[in-house]
Amino acid sequence: MCGIAGILGALDETNRAALRSLSAAIEHRGPDSAGSWESKPDDRGHGCMLAHRRLSIIDLSTASDQPMSDPDERHTIVFNGEIYNFTELRAQLEHSGESFESAGDTEVMLRLLVRKGIDACPELRGMFALGLWNDDARQLTLVRDPHGIKPLYVCRNPDPNGNWSLVFASELRAIMA
């Protein structure tokens, strides 16, 4: 099942505690491992924090743990779901010169999104929700499968001067936590 969560805002202890609360609230979605990550801060000390709760299904090794970054550490992803055609996509990427550390679908999706951006989404067959941070653009992209099978809840802060601007998670109760 897996669970994902994230915060855009100040990279401070208040938001780190909030991310830990988000992650704890979705622990039941992924008992096999948990991970968190934060971007480099901008000049105001703001950035992106991501959390993942993993239910290991395809690749049982730690190579598929999340949040997962590309080799250049310019893009980081949290992903909940399954990409049914990931072996075909992997073969295409390998033919283009990519090599992989894991045997799972997350790394394939990450590499595809890094190469093609959001235009790669129609190539993904499956059920999924994801958050992808682009460190160069300082941009978070949130995506759900076309049928909305995997949940993704988003909350925007109505206070433009608040400590955070956006929170997302696989469950509403995580955001409420």
Measured from the Cβ of residue 118, the count of other Cβ atoms closer than 10 Å reads 10
Sheet-wide strand order for 46-54: 33-38, 46-54, 3-10, 164-169, 153-156
Helix or strand (DSSP H, E) at 45? none
CA distance 22 to 115: 30
How is residue 123 annotated by DSSP? Answer: G
The pLDDT, as a whole number, for residue 114 is 95
CA 90 vs. chain centroid, Å, equals 19
Please report, as a single letter, which amino acid is at residue 42: D
Residues 106 and 163 sit within 8 Å (Cβ to Cβ) = no
Residues 52 and 104 sit within 8 Å (Cβ to Cβ) = no
Measured from the Cβ of residue 78, the count of other Cβ atoms closer than 10 Å reads 28
- Does the structure show a pLDDT above 90 at 54? no
The string of pLDDT tens digits covering residues 114-157 is 999 999 999 999 999 999 999 999 999 999 998 999 999 999 99
Reply yes or no on whether 48 is catalytic.
no
pLDDT band at 174 (very low <50, low <70, confident <90, very high): very high
Which among 48, 64, 63, 60 has a CA at the least distance from the CA of 138? Answer: 48
Measured from the Cβ of residue 156, the count of other Cβ atoms closer than 10 Å reads 12
- Does the structure show a pLDDT above 70 at 101? yes
Catalytic member of 2, 48, 121, 155 = 2
